Amino acid sequence: MAPAQNPISSQHVVVIGAGAAGLVAARELSREGHTVVVLEREKEVGGLWIYSPKAESDPLSLDPTRSIVHSSVYESLRTNLPRECMGFTDFPFVPRFDDESRDSRRYPSHMEVLAYLQDFAREFNLEEMVRFEIEVVRVEPVNGKWRVWSKTSGGVSHDEIFDAVVVCSGHYTEPNVAHIPGIKSWPGKQIHSHNYRVPGPFENEVVVVIGNFASGADISRDIAKVAKEVHIASRASEFDTYEKLPVPRNNLWIHSEIDTAYEDGSIVFKNGKVVYADSIVYCTGYKYRFTFLETNGYMNIDENRVEHLYKHVFPPALSPGLSFVGLPSMVSLKQYLGVPSSSLTWFLSLSFFYQGIQFVMFEIQSKWVAAVLSRRVTLPTEDKMMEDISAWYASLDAVGIPKRYTHKLGKIQSEYLNWVAEECGCPLVEHWRNQQIVRGYQRLVSHPETYRDEWDDNDLMEEAYEDFARKKL
């Protein structure tokens, strides 16, 4: 742990958002002795995990006047990580056999994750800190403090001064829609996965799903249950990729990316195949967006890189008053397993992306922010932080990782988390947690249709539960 150089100080901190990141940030900040207010746009805690059957009015979410639906969760969604490695370190995500309404599966449904987050909020009295149905509309630095403008659901505005702002507003709400040559004249329906809920509307259709990362892989299989044909377009696949995938209705294909769409309804893939499609579903990810931040041009988002953040958390010139919890996102399986694509099976060649450790990352980042704000831990000088950021960018350039992947950590996620943990003196990420992620994704590669229900890592599960028992959790 970095030595305490100053007396511990208590700050008045606002956390924006009461999803998994905001909840654990609120807990860590208050444990460290800060006074905390959480501002949350929704009526309840849980963020992304609050499923809404309602989607946005514009299926591609391009209309700036649309009213925003925060969640991107679809009805059939189950976690893509085993529950043991998803939970916070001192509040494990274990099955609740005492309540019949709960989902005890190892890879539970989205409702179970929401219930877990509600349990977490209750256990640590976090709702007391949350002001619901308050949307933050502007955040600006003022004389060393922060002015935060918000409005109620009834439109009443309010502003308040805080010592520090912790941004936990999530980053799976602003769709990234891939550009397809010729799409303007293509006559079919188009929707982004953000607005996908159920497969029903695609019954008997020919559907093209663009993207084969976490959502694309799930949604293509969900739609294949009712559609005539589903064709996945995968940018990560070789140009001649064309394979039928093993699903029960024998109606799912994977292709290389789309070359052009035409006004006769056809879609031509780079592999030369032509499909006459009724719908396109874009599973092409999300963009970082912080519409409320007013930093006089200091902070920008360039090609989905949030410029500039020390260790993805602190903007050097505005820290420690401004910080971000939860920015690093998915990691690629190839990055994680560290194997070249040529040696992968057909399925792995689809280049699955997955979540990596999320909730524990939020927890460790939050502990760091809390400790820095109380001055128990000090940050390097602004120049040193900028040097570190430049070195990170250079390391990405050196191996050809595009700017848009700046906040995807790949194989170094556990190294990163352990660095942050050491910085604030908290325990390192458990061995079993990292190993479960690797083994889970190896299963996903070899048994994509069953990996959530059949596993071969009971040893790691036992290790996790022994660890919970040892810590009396």
Using CB under 6 A as the criterion, which residues of the chain lie in contact with ligand FAD when the complex forms? 16-22, 39-42, 47-49, 70, 72-73, 79-81, 86, 135-136, 168-170, 172, 215, 292, 326, 355, 358-359
The residue (of 129 and 275) whose beta carbon lies closer to ligand FAD is: 129
Contact 294, 138 (CB under 8 A): yes
> Considering beta carbons, is residue 316 or 440 the nearer one to ligand FAD?
440
Helical (H) or strand (E) element with 260 = strand 258-261
Contact predicate 320/382, CB 8 Å: no
Using DSSP's 3-state secondary structure scheme, residue 333 falls into: helix
Between residues 256 and 335, which has the closer beta carbon with respect to ligand FAD? Answer: 335
Nearer to ligand FAD, 288 or 359 (CB): 359
Nearer to ligand FAD by Cβ, of 292 and 441: the residue is 292
CB of 354 to ligand FAD, least distance (A): 8
> CB 72 → ligand FAD: shortest distance, Å?
4
Using the minimum distance from each CB to ligand FAD, give the nearer residue, 173 or 234.
173
Using alpha carbons only, what angle is made at residue 297 by residues 295 and 302, rounded to the nearest 5 degrees?
Answer: 110
Q: Where are the beta strands (DSSP E) in 46-131?
A: 130-131
Task: Name the DSSP class of 372.
Answer: H
Query: Residue 359 Cβ, how far from ligand FAD at the closest point, in Å?
Result: 6
Q: Which segments of 93-251 are extended strands (E)?
A: 130-131, 134-142, 145-152, 157-162, 164-167, 189-192, 206-210, 229-233, 242-244
Q: Own/partner pairs for 313-320, CB < 8 Å, 24+ apart?
A: 313/365, 313/368, 313/369, 313/420, 314/372, 314/379, 314/385, 316/382, 316/385, 316/386, 316/389, 317/382, 318/141, 319/372, 319/379, 319/385, 320/164, 320/369, 320/372, 320/373, 320/379
The nearest distance, CB 314 to ligand FAD, in angstroms, is 17
CB of 270 to ligand FAD, least distance (A): 27
Compute the least distance from the CB of residue 16 to ligand FAD, in Å.
Answer: 5
In the complex with ligand FAD, the residue whose CB is nearer, 251 or 323, is 323
Q: How far is the CB of 78 from ligand FAD (least distance, A)?
A: 8
